[in-house]
Amino acid sequence: MKAVGVIPARYASTRFPGKPLKLLAGKPLLQWVIEGSRSSQRLSEIWVATDHPEIQALAEGLGVKTVMTSSDLPTGSDRVYQALRGENVEVVVNIQGDEPLISGRLLDQLVEPLLADPTLPMATLGRALKEGDLHSPNTAKIVLNCRGEAIYFSRLPIPYSRVDAPEREAVCLKHIGLYAFRKSFLAEFCAQSPTLLESAEGLEQLRALYLGARIRVVTVDHESVGVDTPEDVARVEALLRNRK
């Protein structure tokens, strides 16, 4: 079963234009993501989907297949599908292009449920909540069912409790925004325009729940650290240097 990872790398980020090319500890951000992803044992190939020639040149210089995609796509998942829609691929992973601490092992954990269950349309990752996560609107939370599948995602503390219930933190996870799709479901996902629900929360995975898809959530011990704004650069550089 062929599984391919695609890194969507758009140039015109609203908060940080040119972000994939920004140097972090001596390497462009995109290079860190490519190098971390390449250690995956489950992904047969790593691709880059971009809308900018400088990003294309960087990726191809690193030996990565690159596909030019439209600048007008609404989400990274739509960019991933546009890159792969004509390819003979069973499983597709949307690898966030602003996560320089990504590892191949993490991607393997994400892909494994789809390789094990041919009926599963989608998987994502979560980790245990830490102090401050539950009430932070910058942290997406997940509530699960008994099969480890997502019931709902929200930026608000969930589930709501009418009484003081500190154990609430034990029934939800912090969402880590990496996605593995069955390609057939990714086509259905991208054919559906963004829904009112996902627009309200600002969470594209709610489109999949709106469509009735099962989303398996793999619990991992990983701190997701992204580069969203120029102010994040120094913090992430320190983490990269410490990891070395």
Cα 114 from Cα 187, distance rounded (Å): 16
Cα 10 from Cα 73, distance rounded (Å): 10
- 168-193: average pLDDT: 91
What's this model's pTM, rounded to 2 decimal places? Answer: 0.92
Instruction: Enumerate the H helices of 131-218 as residue ranges.
Output: 183-191, 196-201, 205-210
Q: Tell me which of 3.40.50.300, 3.30.1490.20, 3.90.550.10, 3.40.47.10 is the CATH number of domain 3-243.
A: 3.90.550.10
Token duo for residue 124: 């994502």
Which pLDDT value is given to residue 164? 55
Which pLDDT value is given to residue 43? 97
Cα 230 from Cα 162, distance rounded (Å): 40
Domain extents in the chain: 3-243
Query: How many Å is the Cα radius of gyration of the chain?
Result: 17
Bridge-partner residues for 175, per DSSP?
126
Q: Which of 27-31, 53-57, 72-76 is predicted with the least confidence, judged by mean pLDDT?
A: 72-76
* pLDDT above 80 for 6: yes
The letter for the amino acid at 33 is V
- In the chain the first and final C-alpha atoms are separated, in Å, by 34
Determine what percent of the chain is predicted with pLDDT higher than 90. Answer: 73
User: 141-144 and 150-154 as β-strands: parallel, antiparallel, unpaired?
Assistant: antiparallel
